[in-house]
Amino acid sequence: MCVTSGPALLGGTMAFTFDHLDNPDKRTWHVSGYQNNALDLSGNPNCMLLHFPGDEIRTIHGPETTHRFMADMTRVLPALEPLRDFRNSRGTRSASNFQPRVEEYGDYHVVLAQDDTNILDMLEAVPEQRRPPRTKQLEALVNWYQQKFENYCFVLACFVGEVRPIHPIVVEYVPHNDDVLFVPGLEAHDGLPPVIGQPVERDFRVAFGLQVCPQPVQVQYTDHAIRGQRWAPDDVTGMYDNRLQGPNQDYVVPYDSIKDGLFGKELLEVLVG
């Protein structure tokens, strides 16, 4: 479940977001992780596009060496419908010293950018074997994102062939609005912009956490070295969105609802449109 620059099959998506206070600069940062399986159908290198409502985005290293990190976190989240076999917020940007960049991260090369970055030019720094071709379709997709999600930051996760990562891509950013937690949930797997709100089949495990307040699910990490890492929440709330006809949308949840411990369908009902 995500938006790709060319045709692809995707599944098994798991994601999370939680907040933390950076003690040196006294600012709130949001940490987000995203993991799925992808099979390119375009015959060329492909990429997944993820958007986040914040500034100064950067990767967190450590999670890309883990195993079952996301599976441990999301495996007990409640499903919204009976289980089936699936086979197939805006704000004002503050001044920052952010520099767009390309990094190798596990199974991907990732482009980290903000909406005023020439993202397509940044792709030139991606190694050729993982660099998506610069087509009119890709240009239109990037332009759509920059128009629809002004002042957001972006991650383009470039891959080739089939990827089945055992770890998520984890980033952190300074949110525009720390009254909500955000997980990107839009999907379109044909290289075209997603149709926001269109009913689509969902297969998305999404978790949220707060530094100041325990949540209903205590995470039992298989790798005990994960516990206590600043990028790994001890407890989460969330849901397994397995709706056959769920709206194509992001997951934007009010901070207060998470603080109140809402869980599963209750949490779904308070999503910000």
pLDDT in tens, 99-153: 899 999 999 999 999 988 899 999 999 999 999 999 999 999 999 999 999 999 9
B/e letters for 203-217, b = 16+ CB within 10 Å, e = fewer, are bbbbbbbbeeeebeb
- Give strand ranges (E) for 7-75: 8-22, 27-40, 46-52, 54-59
| Structure confidence at residue 96 (pLDDT) | 60
Q: Is the pLDDT of residue 87 over 90?
A: no
∠ CA 235-247-92, nearest 5°, is 70
**pLDDT tens-place string over residues 157-199:** 999 999 999 899 999 999 999 899 999 999 999 999 999 999 9
Predicted TM-score (pTM) of the model is 0.91
